[in-house]
């Protein structure tokens, strides 16, 4: 027996977009302003982890806010400018590769978000953080939202700001270190990047030598020296 194809869309085809409901609920609780926080650059082998904190104006929310990973470069750039021009407050902060190596990427990401929040020109009463963790040491109440960049417009705005700023930083690194192609892969472990590392070695203060590929290479060197 052949089953009729349903007219309604399948659940997995429905893409949820972030809204302002978390912020509206917080405002009703007396928790205003509300800041969204997110970071970019947890996974790359090189470059900083960059975080942003954004307090949106409820009367002037830019169109197209979404998880930065679901937007192309061409889509992110005008939204980034719209956020800067309309938000009540925007701040950015980063932790460099050496700082990441000195702790770990999770702690470095949380610290970058804390610094970004503290740099806001307005003092938030509540900070919404993307992920499972609230950065320690916040000057206000914090709440973590899993997949927050796909649920909260404030976090989505922060994700776009962090991504655009980090991409610009890595593009500048690409101009300074042409052999590595940072402006193309943004420090991620692409074949081109890994090939350049093998050919020219890691760059001091830019490559995260605590990450697995570098640890494995150092282990191989230690083993060869012990024979």
Distance CA 48, CA 95 (A): 5
Helix intervals (H) in the chain: 21-28, 73-86, 97-102, 105-118, 153-176, 182-185, 191-200, 212-225
**Cα dihedral 176, 181, 186, 187 in deg (nearest 10):** -90
Query: How many residues comprise the chain?
Result: 227
Burial class (CB in 10 A: 0-12, 13-18, 19+), 99: middle
Give yes or no for a contact between 121 and 113, defined as CB atoms under 8 angstroms apart: no
Distance CA 214, CA 206 (A): 13
Its sign, for the CA torsion 63, 69, 70, 72, is positive
pLDDT in single tens digits along all 227 residues of the chain: 445 555 555 555 566 899 999 999 999 999 999 999 999 999 999 999 999 999 999 999 999 999 999 999 999 999 999 999 999 999 999 999 999 999 999 999 999 999 999 999 999 999 999 999 999 999 999 999 999 999 999 999 999 999 999 999 999 999 999 999 999 999 999 999 999 999 999 999 999 999 977 765 543 333 333 22
pLDDT digits (tens, 9 = 90+) for 10-25: 555 566 899 999 999 9
* Secondary structure of residue 136 in the 3-state scheme: coil
pLDDT of residue 217: 53
pLDDT of residue 142: 98
pLDDT of residue 7: 55
Q: What is the residue extent of each domain of the chain?
A: 15-175
Q: Which of 124, 141, 114 is nearest to 87 (CA)?
A: 124
pLDDT digits (tens, 9 = 90+) for 124-175: 999 999 999 999 999 999 999 999 999 999 999 999 999 999 999 999 999 9
Question: What's the fold here for domain 15-175?
Answer: Nucleotidyltransferase; domain 5 (3.30.420)
Whole-structure pTM value: 0.88
Q: Which of 197, 140, 159 is nearest to 52 (CA)?
A: 159
Distance CA 117, CA 35 (A): 8
pLDDT of residue 16: 84
């Amino acid at each position: 027996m052949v089953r009729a194809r349903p007219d309604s869309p399948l659940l997995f085809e429905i893409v949820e977009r972030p809204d302002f409901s978390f912020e509206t609920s917080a405002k009703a609780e007396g928790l205003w302003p509300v800041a969204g926080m997110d970071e970019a650059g947890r996974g790359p082998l090189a470059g900083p982890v960059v975080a942003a904190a954004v307090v949106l104006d409820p009367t002037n929310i830019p169109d197209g806010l979404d998880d930065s990973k679901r937007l192309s470069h061409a889509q992110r750039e005008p939204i980034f400018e719209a956020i800067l021009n309309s938000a009540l407050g925007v701040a950015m902060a980063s932790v460099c590769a050496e700082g990441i190596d000195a702790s770990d990427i999770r702690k470095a990401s949380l610290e970058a978000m804390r610094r970004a929040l503290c740099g806001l020109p307005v003092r938030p009463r509540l900070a919404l953080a993307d992920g499972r963790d609230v950065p320690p040491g916040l000057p206000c109440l914090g709440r973590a939202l899993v997949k927050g960049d796909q649920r909260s417009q404030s976090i989505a705005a922060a994700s776009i700001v962090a991504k655009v700023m980090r991409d610009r930083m890595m593009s500048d690194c690409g101009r300074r270190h042409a052999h590595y192609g940072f402006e193309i892969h943004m420090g991620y472990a692409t074949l081109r990047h890994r090939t350049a590392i093998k050919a020219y070695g890691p760059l001091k203060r830019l490559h995260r030598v605590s990450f697995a590929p570098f640890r494995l290479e150092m282990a191989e060197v230690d083993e060869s020296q012990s024979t």
